[in-house]
Copies of this chain bind each other. A is one copy, B any other.
Amino acid sequence: MGPRLLIKDVLLGERTTNVLIAGNRFADLAAPRDAAADEVIEAEGMAILPPFYNTHTHAAMTLLRGYADDMPLDVWLQEYIWPREDKLTADDIYEGSRLAIREMIRSGSVFFNDMYFEIGMTARAVEQMGVRACLGITLMDAHPMALRQEKEAFLRGWQDPTGGRISLAVAPHAIYTAGTETLRYARELARRSGVRLHIHLSETLQEVEDCLRDHGMRPVPYLDSLGLLGPDVVAAHCIHLDDDEIALLARRGVTVSHCPCSNLKLGSGLFRYDRMIASGVRVTLGTDGCSSNNNLDMREEMKFAALLAKYQAGPATLPAAEVLRWATRNGAETFGIDAGEIAAGRLADAILVDLSSERFQPRYNLVSDWVYAADSSCVDTVICDGRILMRGRELMV
C-alpha cells in the first residue's frame, strides 16, 4: 500500500472530512479522524481541490521570460526566440525546467505536456521534483538527419524511471516547420512507439493561408489527409478553424489545448468557445511557454478562458465549474492519468487552498472563488502521486 497520509478536517465539496491517501492513491474520503497514518496534514480552514494538468508548454522557456515582449509571433519567434534558443545548452534546459517546475508547483500544477529540446534533461528535473509530464520530442524539417536519428534512438531506448509519472510524445512542431514527409514520419513513429502526438495547430491566420496556398486545404483537413488525426493527438492553440474543421477534430477524438494568454499576447486571435463547446471536442488548458505568457499559472489561464468565452459568446458561456474541468480532469484524461478529481481509488493528486485568504470570502461558491477570485497566493499544499511537493507554501522538492 505504501505510506499513509491523512489530511484532517479538510473541506471537500460541501463537507468537512478526513482524506486518507495510501501509497499514490486516495484510499478513503471519509476516514476516521484518528486513522493510522505515517504523516498527517492538519487542514482545518483549507479545501481540497484537484490540481492542474497543463496540456501545452515549453517548460525551459522560463529562461526566456521577459526576453522579448510586445511584438508579433513571426518577429518574436524568428528574430528573438529561435536565435536565443540556439544558444541554450543541455544544462540550461535542465535549470530552466527546474525553474518551471518550481513555478508550476507553487501555482497548483502537477503535470505538463511539454514540447522542447534535450528532453532527457527535462525528464531528469521531472523525476527529481515529483511532478508528472508528457515530454514531446520535437521534430522539424530543419533538423539534420543525425539529430532525428538521435531522437528516434532516445525514444526507442526510453524507460520511465519514475514508475509512471513521465510519458513521451512525438511532437512535429507545426505544419509550417514540419513538411508532409516529416508529418508522415512523426505519425508513423508515434504509432510504432505507442506514444501520443503533440503539435501546434492553426495558431495564426498566416499558417492557414500558407496551408491553403501550398496544399489547397485548410490545416485540419490537410493533417487528416495525412492520417495524422486521432484520439492520441493533442493540438495546441486551434484558433483559426472553420466549423467543418472543429467538427472534424471532434470526430477524430483529437484533444485541443487552449492557450488563451499566449494567443492574446502574440495577437494570434480568439478561441471559438461557442463552436468548440457545441462540437463536443475535448478542450483542455495550457499556458504555452513563459516567453509568450509570461508565466505558467493555470489559475490565471482559467480566468482568461472563462472571461474571454463570455466576451465571445455571452456571459453564461463557460461557467466556473466547466473551465475548472478543462484545467483539471480533461487534462488528466487526455494523458491517461487516472486523476483530475478527488475520488477514492484515483491517483492522489491534489492541492489544498487556504480559505482564510480574502479571495475566498464570504465564500458563496468555492469553485467560483477559485476560478475568478483566487491566485497562487491561496495555494498552500500540493500533492502529486501521494507525495507532498509543497506544504505551507514551502517547496519540499
Q: Which residues of A contact B (CB under 8 A)?
A: 62-67, 69-73, 76, 99, 102-103, 106, 261, 263-267, 269-270, 290, 293-295, 297, 300, 303-304, 306-308, 310-311, 314-320, 358-359, 361-365, 368-369, 372-377
Contacts and interface: CB of A to CB of B under 8 A. Distances in A.
Give how many copies assemble into the complex: 2
A298 to B, nearest CB: 12
A362 B65 contact: yes
Residue among A71, A304, A361, A363 with max Cβ neighbours from chain B (10 Å):
A361
A368 B69 contact: yes
Contacts of A304: 304, 307
A102 B316 CA distance: 30
A67 B373 CA distance: 12
B70 A361 contact: no
A268 to B, nearest CB: 8
B361 A99 contact: yes
B294 A373 contact: yes
Contact of A308 (B264, B315, B369): B264
Contact of A266 (B65, B72, B310, B359): B310
A311 B270 contact: yes
Given A70-B315, A303-B300, A358 B266 contact: no
B368 A294 contact: yes
Question: When A and B form their complex, which 5 residue pairs have the shortest distance between CB atoms, in order from nearest?
Answer: A267-B315, A264-B307, A103-B358, A294-B372, A377-B377
Contacts of A64: 364
Residue in A70, A264, A304, A361 with the greatest tally of chain B CB atoms within 10 Å: A70
A61 B311 CA distance: 22
Nearest to A377: B377
A345 to B, nearest CB: 31
Contact of A375 (B62, B364, B375): B375
Given A103-B358, A295-B372, 10 more contacts: A65-B361, A65-B369, A66-B369, A67-B365, A70-B310, A70-B318, A261-B303, A261-B307, A265-B307, A375-B375
A114 B310 CA distance: 26
B319 A70 contact: yes
Contacts of A293: 372-373
A359 B102 CA distance: 10
A276 B303 CA distance: 25
A293 B373 CA distance: 7
Given A267-B310, A316-B71, A372-B295, A106 B377 contact: yes
Contacts of A66: 362-365, 368-369, 372-373
A66 B371 CA distance: 10
A361 B264 CA distance: 22
A102 B267 CA distance: 35
Given A66-B372, A365-B66, A358 B106 contact: yes
A270 B320 CA distance: 21
B369 A99 contact: no
A372 B72 contact: no
A322 B387 CA distance: 43
Nearest to A293: B372
Contacts of A72: 314-316
